[in-house]
Amino acid sequence: MSGIEFWHWLSLGAILAVVEMVAPGVYFLWLGIAALLVGGVAWLWPDLHWQYQVLLFALFAIADVTLSRRWMRARPAVTDQPHLNRRGEQYVGRLLTLDQPIVDGVGRAHVEDTMWRVSGPDLPAGQRIRVVGVDGATLRVEAA
């Protein structure tokens, strides 16, 4: 066991990166990064005991996941379609006509080829409304 040197860690890192590419699950990526980091440390301190190397690997594995998450939160991935799979949010800002009056805060309006429940201040049927938000399957609206 004590014969572990930095080449082994670097090899492990490469292997884990390859495994991640072949079988994506986003688990092996972090382990691979940790292995490469331990490989770097072992290259700097070749006398480091193998137990400490393994402990460092465990520490790096957990640390790189949490740090990367924090880093990604700060820089969210840019997407062309921010409202993908969020049907209601695609309609925010849209002008509609009320089909049924809003009574006690709930009415119905036609959007594209289907009906949506809308909630907002009481308004008569035929009123022009604007979608300002969405709660699940209900659009929040106000008079336009």
Residues near other proteins (CB under 8 A): 1, 24-27, 30-31, 51, 54-55, 57-59, 61-62, 65-66, 68-69, 72, 77, 84-88, 108, 113-117, 134-138
Smallest distance, other proteins to C-beta of residue 26, A: 4
Smallest distance, other proteins to C-beta of residue 75, A: 12
Name which of 122 and 135 has its Cβ closer to other proteins: 135
Burial zone of 104 (CB within 10 Å; 0-12 exposed, 13-18 middle, 19+ buried): exposed
Q: Are strands 114-119 and 106-111 parallel, antiparallel or unpaired?
A: antiparallel
Q: What is the dihedral of CA 35, 37, 43, 47, to 10 degrees?
A: -70
* Strands in 41-125 per DSSP E: 95-103, 106-111, 114-119
Smallest distance, other proteins to C-beta of residue 28, A: 9
Smallest distance, other proteins to C-beta of residue 42, A: 15
What number of residues does the chain have? Answer: 144
Beta bridge partners of residue 135, listed in sequence order: 138
Name which of 69 and 128 has its Cβ closer to other proteins: 69
Name which of 47 and 113 has its Cβ closer to other proteins: 113
Name which of 135 and 142 has its Cβ closer to other proteins: 135
